[in-house]
Structure 1
């Protein structure tokens, strides 16, 4: 069962498909600004029902259509991998072939988003020394290879929300978090608004601004909790129910403090002391 953070990541791609493609698959972003471009999420339940036992669950199948016919429809298959060692290029290739046969299309763009660093296969080649009989590749986006400061001020909401997942020194953790939260208002709420319109929005639509800011807080907090849980498990073993409850209820600032302590602490008591 996917975690709430996984679901939030899926929702980001579904809610902001153009920005997802521009960030994770820039080579395929041509024509996305054309009038009438449609982004249609392909329901995973439908694929599962029709593929049966061959179904291999990925995160977000997304169909893009250009009504003016400047490009043929493209199916983007987004997969999120927290740990690179869990990624299988064979599974991804199987899934792409299954979906291509099922939907009757060869217009598929597989994209894998790695939240952490590590080694992973980027190409699959089946054949002999004479020739390749099957060659498969995909687009890879590794957050840990991105410098957070390079994306400060980015107009891409997905990039801004994921700044904490990018590479940055410990001394900039608070600045990175603040920039991510600030980005929600600057990128999403204030997009294409003049200064006067922004003031009107702030006065007349404060509740909506609070809701979106709250979403950013939850998304970032869940990401912090996930990383801290993985670090604790690696250093001290699986967290107890008491610690799990503290991770679930702590705010993002507290989680960041605990994460910094966990990097050097010799015992759990050193992390969660008041």
Structure 2
């Protein structure tokens, strides 16, 4: 399964829907399936015509009829669920899609899910207003246990914050009742900032080295990108007296 990056290939036909997922079977027993997934916060903004048009564009581009449209509604509300085109006597085009309304899913049934997407969307599910803080804490716990990458943790935490939308009193209650989760959030920020510093130092070092020694060999570049912040600082100090790349990163 992989994400299909289609903006350049579709050109003017590209629409800002979620990236299609292409599922292939390596043994060739079945043809590829393209899942076109669209997330819609407000059902009133959803257009079945737009989705149908996009699916047809994908089918033409990839030369396939195996396209499965899926719509995830974050909020409930009226929206067109099918498209029929034709005249009085005959319908010539029938378009249907799979859909789910997250706001109808009981939060408690998914609270301990091991699926990262489900855990991040707990704030979009169905729960009582007084459970909002508990829901937020469950989403943060899921993020901490299911996503190891600091950069993604920070990005996904922003997603949880936006949709949980705790007010000041709820935030204080969260900090009081869920100290472990608060510490987890602090760790997210610290690790993200540390990774950002490391990446910045690596970029700076490679830039100076290229000016002094010319284009860097791939092994040297990989070693610099993998180095921790302290090692990078030591290498930066060496570059002013070093006569070769090896003298910098030995």
Could you state the TM-score of these two structures normalised by the residue count of structure 1?
0.57
Show the 5 A alignment for 1:65-76: 65-76=24-35
Q: Which moved more, 1:216-225 or 1:101-110?
A: 216-225
Runs of 4 or more, structure 1, over 3 Å off, are 128-131, 185-189, 210-216, 252-258
Structure 2: give runs of 5+ residues left out of the alignment.
Answer: 173-250
Q: Give a deviation string over 1:24-67, Cα, whole Å, max 9, x none.
A: xxxxxxxxxxxxxxx22111322342xx2x33321211211110
Higher RCO by CA contacts (8 Å cutoff, separation 6 or greater): 1
The aligned residue for residue 254 of structure 1 is: 168
Could you tell me how far apart the structure 1 residues matched to 2:31 and 2:170 are? Answer: 45
Give, in whole Å, the separation in 2 of the partners of 1:256 and 1:69.
53
Cα distance in 2, alignment partners of residues 85 and 121 from structure 1: 9
Alignment of 1:157 with 2:116, yes or no, is yes
In structure 2, distance between residues paired with 1:78 and 1:55? 14
What is the aligned counterpart of 1:219 among 155, 159, 162?
159
Q: Give deviations 1:110-131, integer Å, cap 9, x for gaps.
A: 1111111101111111124543
Kindly report which structure 2 residues correspond to 1:88-237, keeping only aligned pairs within 5 A, or say none.
88-188=47-147, 213-224=153-164
Instruction: Tell me the number of residue pairs that the alignment of Structure 1 and Structure 2 aligns.
Output: 172
Q: How many angstroms apart in 2 are the aligned matches of 1:132 and 1:223? A: 40
2:136 touches 2:164 (CA, 8 Å); kept in 1? no
Deviation, structure 1 residue 100: 1.0
Aligned-residue offset at 1:168: 0.7
| Structure 1 unpaired stretches of 5+ | 1-38, 190-207, 226-251, 259-274
In 1, the alpha carbon distance for the partners of 2:169 and 2:52 equals: 37
Contact 1:224–1:256 (8 Å) recurs in 2:
no
> How far did 1:87 drift?
0.5
Maintained 8 Å contact 1:181/1:216? no
| Length-normalised TM-score, structure 2 | 0.62
Q: Which residue is 1:28 aligned to?
A: none
Q: Is the 8 A contact 2:18 2:39 kept in 1?
A: yes
Secondary structure (helix, strand or coil) at the match of 1:118 reads coil
Tell me by how many angstroms 1:71 deviates: 2.5
